[in-house]
A and B are shown apart, each in its own frame.
Chain A
Amino acid sequence: MIKFLIKGILRDKSRSLLPVIVVATGVFLTVFMSGFLKGIFNDIAELNAKFNTGHVKIMTRAYAENKDQVPNDLALMDVKKLLSQLKIDYPDMEWVKRIHTGGLIDVPDSFGETRGQGQTIVTAIDMLSPGTHEVERMNIKKSIAKGSLPVKQGEALISDEFAERFGVSLGDKVTLFGSTMNGSMMFNIFVVSGTLRFGNTILDRGAIFMDIRDAQLALDMDDAASEILGYFKVGVYDDIKAQQLQASFNTKYSLKDDEFSPQMFRLVEQEGLGDYLKLANSAGTIMVFIFVIAMSIVLWNTGLLGGLRRYSEFGVRLALGEEKKHIYKTTIYEAMLIGIIGSVIGTGMGLGAAYYMQTYGLDVSSITSNIGMMLPSVYRAEVTPSLFYLGFFPGVIATVLGSALAGFAIYKRKTSQLFHELEV
């Protein structure tokens, strides 16, 4: 009987072709869009991880609570010891320290008088120690507009827009004013080795990048840091591993009643990235849901048309002694078959397209005129295992639902009436 049905589906193009196309298209879109959404989220999350959140981040409890104010008086202490301990405890991770602070940059003229002043955001990372990945991680080389990376202590990079505005040339000296960790006034002179383009308004208006050692000296933070970031050496964020890591770290190092004790935060707990991930997931679910409904309606209607066309077939089958229930069941089986065929085709196409977008990506660098380090220039899809089965839910559910609805109209008719219609 099944063989008989398959033959019918394959031969009756009007019965199979349109539904298969509908299902394949819907499944294709589901699979591809899911892969692409996932990929874009990952791109954005990884970018955030690199610049800001790490895969995990360690701060003091107090610093974390007032993070917006970059309160370095609440920074982590005894960082050397902590870092060497972390390297032993969690060898799968790479650990780096960073310092953030705010200040004022003063550009002097040839007589040493102030020529211009601007607010600045200070980011200090490990630029100089051998084997550091920080320069690469923050994509600094590609973002350099003029000049080059600092090669020794006392050199820094400033934002290109700022340099233009105040006529700062490479090799010029600028003074950074701010306050130390202990709250006293500090100023420090840096040589501008290059300028940076960020693609982020605030940073472009005024930012300075320097080596962490310089910042530690200037800010009286000799063995301190604003935060320690951890990165999975495999390169991608894994929330399950991150949760285990977090639990282990916080049990060992974080003291409940000491607000200066360190505490670990995961990527998704920072900067609303968790909400964003949830949004991406629910957008995916909503999308699948819409596809199921839209496809069901289309398939219901094609099923009705098909059903009308097949009244005579159903009538004959009744006359030949098939039960109405059985006929209804076989139309559902047919729908399942069509749904599976369509889903296989759609999944194949969707995976192909997602795989293509994973390999080559969508290059938006020509659209966004400013290539900065804060924007992904290529959006990529991600082929995950779930993409292989995800499409089958909308595909098979929609066909079965569509033909169940269509078949119901036929099922509810009386045998004799069906039979009557077949003769006219």
Chain B
Amino acid sequence: MENSSIIKIEKLVKRFPVGKTEFTALNDISVSFGAGEFAGLVGPSGSGKTTLLNIMGSLDSPSEGDVDVLGRSVSSLSHKQSAKLRNHHIGFIFQTYNLLPVYTVYENVEFALLLQKLSGSERKKAVMDSLEWVGLTDKVKSRPSMLSGGECQRVAIARSMVKRPEIVLADEPTANLDSKNSHNILQTMKNLNRELKTTFIFATHDEKVMQYLNRIIFLEDGKIVKDNLINDSKN
């Protein structure tokens, strides 16, 4: 596991300025993720789950320590380099879907590819493949406002997967969904994880999500308190 880790974090500290003092959101975090993991950060609100995900996604930078993503040290990346890292290698899924309302399902998924230099036909194939994974090929022309919450989140998954990233970071992806839809999208992600070997890292306090994880990292007050591997996860 260690030798094939795609994210390696050592002695990470993250502080936020609060007024004149500083607030330590993450304190001395050391953890690694291997390719193909289906892992979750679990912990009470304010424990630092989102902060850790953002740093792994190079949307935020560490205050101290080393964060290495796909062989790149996040803190040394320029704006351009970190944008490129996200664009090619990291997918994001959010609690509130965050689809662009004026664009169709197809265009929302396609957007991630517009920043890459792909031909029109390559883009089309990638978009349709990815919509097929999430079972939405019949909704390509719909606008987000016409879709149910579950469908929106499936579009968001398709969007994060369309560029075939090595890593998908999902922050509370089921928080706005009912139980049936939650299981549905978790199953979809689990399948993608198996078929494409994509690494999924969740931030969650949803029991339903935990049933699917093969590794649960417990955070409390910005510290890792437990790191459990679960070998026999639900299919």
Contact = CB atoms under 8 A, between A and B. Distances in A.
Contacts of A318: 59, 83, 86
B95 interface: yes
Nearest to B96: A423
A11 B104 CA distance: 11
B112 interface: yes
Contacts of B50: 423
Contact of A319 (B79, B92, B95, B114): B92
A321 B86 contact: yes
B103 A7 contact: yes
A321 B59 CA distance: 10
Interface in B87-102: 87-88, 90, 92, 94-96, 98-102
B57 A423 contact: no
Interface in B37-80: 50, 54, 57, 59-61, 79-80
Nearest to A14: B102
Contact of A320 (B80, B96, B111, B171): B111
A317 B114 CA distance: 11
A416 B87 contact: no
A321 B115 contact: yes
A326 B87 CA distance: 13
A333 to B, nearest CB: 14
A111 interface: no
A422 B107 CA distance: 20
A326 B61 CA distance: 20
A322 interface: yes
Contact of B112 (A7, A8, A320, A325): A320
A419 interface: yes
Q: Which of A321, A324, A325, A422 is packed against the most chain B CB atoms within 10 Å?
A: A321
Contact of B83 (A11, A315, A321, A423): A321
Contacts of A315: 98
B59 A415 contact: yes
B51 to A, nearest CB: 9
A419 B102 CA distance: 20
A323 interface: yes
Given A4-B111, A4-B114, A7-B107, A319 B57 contact: yes
Interface residues of B, number: 32
A135 interface: no
Contact of A325 (B59, B79, B101): B79
A415 B87 contact: no
B84 interface: yes
Nearest to B108: A316
Interface string A3-24: 0100110011001000000000
Interface in B9-41: none
Nearest to A13: B102
A84 to B, nearest CB: 76
A320 B60 contact: no
A319 B60 CA distance: 11
Contact of A423 (B88, B94, B100, B103): B94
Interface string A404-424: 000000000001100100110
B87 A321 contact: yes
Contacts of B115: 1, 320-322
B85 interface: yes
A419 B86 contact: no
A8 B114 CA distance: 14
Contacts of B84: 321
B98 A312 contact: yes
Nearest to A313: B100
Nearest to B112: A320
Nearest to B85: A321
B171 A423 contact: yes
Interface in A242-291: none
Contacts of B171: 423
A4 B59 contact: no
Contacts of A4: 103, 107, 111, 114
Nearest to A11: B102
A324 B54 contact: no
A405 to B, nearest CB: 22
Given A415-B59, A423-B171, A321 B96 contact: no
Given A320-B112, A321-B88, A8 B102 contact: yes
B98 A322 contact: no
Interface in A322-348: 322-326
Contacts of B86: 318-321
Interface string B201-215: 000000000000000
Contacts of A419: 54, 59-60
A150 B103 CA distance: 80
A416 B54 contact: yes
A416 B60 contact: yes
8 contacts: A4-B103, A4-B114, A316-B99, A321-B88, A323-B80, A324-B79, A415-B59, A416-B60
Given A1-B114, A320-B111, A419-B54, 8 more contacts: A320-B92, A321-B112, A323-B79, A415-B59, A415-B79, A416-B54, A422-B98, A423-B50
